[in-house]
Structures are given as C-alpha cells and as structure tokens.
Structure 1
Amino acid sequence: MRQSVALVDYGAGNLHSVHNALKRVGAPVSVTADPDEVRAAERIVLPGVGSFKACLGGLRAISGMIAALEERVLDHGTPFLGICVGMQMLATRGLEHGTTKGLDWISGEVRLIEPSDPAIKVPHMGWNDVAVMPHAKGHSVIEEGEAYFLHSYHFVADDPHDVLAMTDHGEGLVAAVARDNIIGVQFHPEKSQAYGLAMLEHFLEWRP
C-alpha cells in the first residue's frame, strides 16, 4: 500500500497540477496547510512556481509549518520532494529580488541564468534532457530522460555531490539535487508526461 503524502499548500501556482499527477500514480495525497498533518505524513511534497522570495514568504506565513517540515524531514528522515521553486527553497539563499534566506537544507544559492550566448533565451522553457551525474547513477528516483522546465533562476550547489542530475541551456544547469532523504527537481514532473509520472512513482517507492 502507498504511503500517505502531504502536499504542502502555501499558495503555490502548481499545487493542483501536482496533486492531480500524484493521484494519477495512486498516491493517497492530502493537500494541506496544517503543520500537524505534515507531521503525520509518511512522505512530503513541496511544490512551487514564481519567485524565490514570494514562495519563502508564503511558506513562512503559515505558523509552525517550517518547524513541522524540519522536524519530519531533518529529524525523522521522512522522504521529501521539492519541485521547481520548492527545490530552490532548499538552498542557503536566493538572489531573486534581493537576497532571501532559504531553508538551507542543501548548501548553495539560487542565481539568475546568465548564458554567455545572447541567442540563449531566459527563461529556460520547454523540454530538455535530464542527465544523471556519474556519482548518482542507479539512484532509485531519477533516471535519464526528457522533462519539462520553466525557470529563470537556477540552483548552484556548494557540494557537487549534492547534484543528482544536470540539464543544458547554453551552460550546465542543475536539474536535480539530493541528500539523504531529500530530493529536489528543477523540472516539472506534473508536466513531463510519462517521464514525470514515472519519477513520481519512483519517489513513492523510494526507501532512502
């Protein structure tokens, strides 16, 4: 039987599409802004679209939510998935609209994509390859494939071993990060058709 999933509701724009994708792969998912429900969940998903600063502000506005997330994810090892800005918020800081402190679960910062070739457009939008890093081959959640991206800022990890996968948009950009029971993806699995649904299924089966 699938484990219960808390999908954190702090007003993120992709909340309902992520919810629908999780239901499609058979997850018993609860959309919640209640820290106590997050504490009771066996898996946690943090969605996110928009700016780093606005998303952190929305998350921090829910009394007790960050403490509940830290308790479950950091203290108890609950499997966690961050999607798009939900992944970026794992960083130490974000540089969008000034400097904003992140959750600092995976050391690094979120910077504007600044390709050296002016022909490369920002935002990075559309389908692109997901290339798993050599040290992460065989990870049970992320596989090689093609996924849908939409972002203007990218995660720059301090430790290369925290980078699970890369993509290319005029330069190498982080497509996924991971540490212990935490995984974050820059792409949108809920918009990535068969590849994205397979990734969500892998997350539901993951035993970090």
Structure 2
Amino acid sequence: MIVVIDYGMGNSGSVVNMFKRIGEDVLLSSDPEQIRKATKLILPGVGSFDNGMENLAKYGLIDLLGDKVLRQGTPILGICLGIQLFMEASDEGELPGLGWIKGRAHRFDPATLGELRIPHMGWNGLDVAKEHPLVQELEHDARFYFVHTYHVCCDDPADVLTTTTYGIDFVSSVARDNVVGVQFHPEKSLRWGMNVFRRFANVAV
C-alpha cells in the first residue's frame, strides 16, 4: 500500500488521483497506523516551510516518519514542499527540517536570474546527474511542471539526482538511499509525471 501523507499542506488529492490513474493501490491518510503499514510513502505539499514542519508535528508524524524512513528503510517520495522538508533548514523559515538530506532550501536570487521571474513557474526539463530508477530511460523530450520560489542545495553532490536550468542550474530532484524528492509536480506533468509515479511504485528505490 502506498500512503500519501495528509498533513494539511495541499495538492494531496491530485497526487492520489494520479496514482489511481496508473492503477496503483493508494491511500490518503494522516492515521499513524496506516502510515506504519505503508510499503511506500509520498510526502507532497504546497505552502511555507515552517507551516509544513508545524503540521507534521501537529499530526504527530515527525518521529513516526523518521522511524519508518530511516530505521525501517521505507521508500518515500517528497514532492515540491516535500523535498524542501527533507532538508536541514530553509531560508523561508526558522524551524529545522527533517534533516534526511544534508543541505538547505534557498530562495531564488533575482540578481542571478536576469529578466526571469520569481517564482519559477511552468514547464522545464531535467538534466540527470546520476543513475537511478526514478529517471531510468527518461524520455529525451520529458518536461515537468514547476511552481516554486525556493530550491534545495545539497551539501553532498552525491545526493543530487537531477538539475534544471532557470537562470542558474538548480537541484530539481534528490536521491539518497530510500529517500527521493522532486521539486516539480509529477501530478501536473502529464505522461512524464505518470511515468515518475509508475517508476516509484514499481521499482525498488
């Protein structure tokens, strides 16, 4: 059972619907018992970093997720805010993140973007930094939908899965062991996003 974690931070329903479209058994839940039983987890999210961490704490999920992900090795996919919560901290807030990936989420610097607008919004491609099942046989024309003002920076380059160019080259997905995160929205990325979900559901990470 894939469990999409419902912690009040938006876009969960569309993630669930996309998994159902590809025929996967999926549940939207904040119930600790359901999360404990999950074979794979999804941490989606739209909103601010501190609100995300506060909501995880309010639902009593921080220690539970740490046990599931770090001790038991349950695969987890973070989406948009989810990838940022995997980090140690963010320029957007003051609370510590989950700290599963060493690094920080930084705001796009207008000085480096020229005439490009913040937030980064729209379709963009991925440059693959290392081999991984999530991007295995990635289509040459693959495009993914982004909406974000902050982007993650990894202390360890080995954690970088893909980069994307928007004025600068920024980290658009990360992977360390069973922890995978994407800055883009697979649930809004048509067939390319469906393929990302399909790979996560069907291939061990």
What interval of TM-score do these two structures reach, taking the shorter chain for normalisation? over 0.9
2:39, 2:75 within 8 Å by CA — same for their partners in 1? yes
Alignment partner, residue 176 of structure 1: 173
For 2:55 and 2:113, locate their aligned partners in 1 and report how far apart those are by CA, in whole Å: 35
SS in structure 2 of the partner of residue 69 of structure 1: helix
CA-based RMSD of the aligned residues comes to: 1.1
Deviation at 1:118? 3.2
Q: 1:39-54 to 2 correspondence within 5 Å?
A: 39-54=36-51
Q: What is the match of residue 156 of structure 1?
A: 153
* Alignment equivalent of 2:20, drawn from 16, 20, 23: 23
- In the TM superposition, structure 1's runs of 4+ consecutive aligned residues that sit over 6 Å from their partners are none
The corresponding residue for 2:74 is 78
Contact 1:39/1:71 (8 A) holds in 2: no
Query: The residue matched to 1:119 in structure 2 has which SS?
Result: coil
Q: Which runs of 5+ in 2 are unaligned?
A: none
Note the residue ranges of structure 1 that are not aligned, 5 or more in a row. none
In the TM superposition, 1:46-195 aligns within 5 A as 46-63=43-60, 65-96=61-92, 98-115=93-110, 116-133=112-129, 136-137=130-131, 139-142=132-135, 143=138, 145-195=142-192
CA contact (8 A) 2:113 2:166 kept: no
Question: 1:166 touches 1:172 (CA, 8 Å); kept in 2?
Answer: yes
Output the TM-score relative to the length of structure 1: 0.93
Aligned length: 200
Q: Distance in 2 between matches of 1:122 and 1:69?
A: 32
Q: What secondary structure is seen at the aligned counterpart in 1 of 2:104?
A: strand
Identity of aligned residues (%): 42
Question: Post-superposition shift, 1:117?
Answer: 3.6
Structure 2 letter corresponding to 1:146: R
- TM normalised by structure 2 equals 0.94
Query: Deviation at 1:57?
Result: 1.1
1:127/1:148 contact within 8 Å kept = yes
Q: Distance in 2 between matches of 1:81 and 1:146?
A: 19
